[in-house]
C-alpha cells in the first residue's frame, strides 16, 4: 500500500473543534523522536455513534487512543473529548469515559467479584451504585453464579465480556475499545458486538479500533488510518445491524 495519498486537506482542516461532538480532533500529531506515529489527523464523532477506527498493525490506532484518553501528550493539534480539552485537562473528563485496552483489562489473579470491586473503587462508586452495576455486569457478561471464579480460568469470550463490564461500571458516556475482539472466535465476536449495539442504543458513543475489515460493517462511521495519516473517512446515513 505504499504510495497511498492521505485525504488531507480534508473538509475539517482549519475548522475549530466542535464542542458538541463526543470527539473532535484537529491536526492531532504524535512523534517518537524523528518518527511520526500519528500525523495531523482530523475527525468529528457525533454522540451516540459507533465509530470504527480501522488500520493495520502499527498504523497509530493505540497511540491515538492514548492521546484521547489523556494518557499521553500530543506534539501538535487539538482534541475535545465530550467537549473538554483532554490534552490540557484530562482530569475534567476521565470519569466520563471508559477504556478497554488492547492487552490488559483485567487482573487475572483476581476473581470476577474482585475485578468488579477494583474498578468500582477506581471510579468511586457508592455501595448502592456498585450493587446496581454489579448485577448489570454479571447479567450482561453471563457470569451470574461465577463471581468467585478466578478470572484466569474464564474463556477468552467471557473475559472479554467481563472486561467490557468493568470498563462500563461507572456508566460512561463514551467508551474506547482498542481491538476488543482480537483472538476471539467468531461466535463470541458476534455476541460481543450485540453488547456494543446495546450500549450504543442507550446513547453511549463507541470508539472501536480494529484491524478486522469485516468489523467495519458493524460501525456507522469509519476512518481508516495508515502510517499515521487518515486515508479515508465517512459516515453511513442509514444503518442496519447485520
Ligand atoms: N512509546 C513508543 N515509542 C516509540 N515508538 C512507538 C511508541 N508507541 C508506539 N510506537 C510506534 O508507533 C507506531 C504506531 O503504534 P500503535 O499506535 O501502537 O499502532 P496500532 O495500535 O495501530 O497497531 C508503531 O510504529 C509503533 O512501533
Ligand atoms: Mg494497537
For a mutational test of ligand 1's pocket, the pick from 37, 72, 231, i.e. the residue with the most ligand atoms closer than 8 A to its C-beta, is: 37
Which residues sit with their C-beta closer than 6 Å to ligand 1? 32, 37, 55, 57-63
What is the mean pLDDT of the segment spanning 85-107? 91
The Cα-based distances of 200 to 20, 220, 222 in angstroms read 17, 11, 15
Kindly report, residue by residue over 8-52, the tens digit of the pLDDT: 556 787 789 999 999 999 999 999 999 999 999 999 999 999 999
Give residues with Cβ within 8 angstroms of 197, minimum separation 6: 50, 218, 241
Among protein residues, the one with the nearest Cα to ligand 1's atom 27 is 58
Kindly report, residue by residue over 143-200, the tens digit of the pLDDT: 999 999 999 999 888 999 999 999 999 999 999 999 998 888 888 888 999 999 999 9
Q: What does the pLDDT read at residue 241? A: 47
Note the pTM of the prediction, 2 decimals.
0.92
User: Is the model's pLDDT at 3 over the cut of 60?
Assistant: no
What is the mean pLDDT of the segment spanning 67-76? 97
110: CA distance to ligand 2 center in Å? 25
Kindly report, residue by residue over 105-137, the tens digit of the pLDDT: 789 999 999 999 999 999 999 999 999 999 999
The SS3 of residue 83 is: coil
Helix (H) or strand (E) holding 127: helix 127-140
121: CA distance to ligand 2 center in Å? 27
Question: Taking the domains of the chain in order of start, what are their residue ranges?
Answer: 104-171
Q: What does the pLDDT read at residue 1? A: 45
What is the number of other CB atoms lying within 10 angstroms of the CB of residue 226? 19
Ligand number with the minimum distance to the CA of 226: 1
Amino acid at each position: 500500500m505504499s504510495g497511498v495519498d492521505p485525504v488531507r486537506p480534508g473538509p475539517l482542516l482549519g475548522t475549530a473543534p466542535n464542542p458538541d461532538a463526543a470527539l473532535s480532533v484537529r491536526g492531532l500529531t504524535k512523534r517518537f523522536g524523528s518518527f511520526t506515529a500519528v500525523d495531523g489527523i482530523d475527525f468529528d464523532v457525533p454522540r451516540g455513534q459507533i465509530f470504527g477506527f480501522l488500520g493495520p498493525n502499527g498504523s497509530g490506532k493505540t497511540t491515538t487512543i492514548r492521546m484521547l484518553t489523556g494518557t499521553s501528550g500530543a506534539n501538535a493539534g487539538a482534541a475535545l473529548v465530550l467537549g473538554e480539552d483532554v490534552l490540557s485537562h484530562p482530569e475534567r473528563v476521565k470519569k466520563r469515559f471508559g477504556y478497554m485496552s488492547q492487552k490488559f483489562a483485567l487482573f487475572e489473579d483476581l476473581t470476577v467479584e474482585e475485578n468488579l470491586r477494583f474498578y468500582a473503587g477506581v471510579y468511586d462508586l457508592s455501595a448502592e451504585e456498585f450493587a446496581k452495576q454489579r448485577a448489570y455486569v454479571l447479567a450482561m457478561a453471563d457470569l451470574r453464579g461465577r463471581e468467585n471464579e478466578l478470572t484466569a480460568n474464564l474463556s477468552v469470550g467471557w473475559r472479554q465480556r467481563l472486561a467490557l463490564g468493568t470498563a462500563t461500571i461507572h456508566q460512561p458516556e463514551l467508551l474506547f475499545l482498542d481491538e476488543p475482539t482480537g483472538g476471539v472466535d467468531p461466535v463470541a465476536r458476534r455476541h460481543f458486538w450485540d453488547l456494543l449495539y446495546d450500549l450504543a442504543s442507550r446513547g453511549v458513543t463507541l470508539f472501536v479500533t480494529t484491524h478486522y475489515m469485516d468489523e467495519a460493517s458493524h460501525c456507522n462511521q469509519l476512518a481508516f488510518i495508515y502510517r499515521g495519516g487518515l486515508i479515508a473517512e465517512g459516515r453511513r446515513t442509514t444503518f442496519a445491524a447485520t
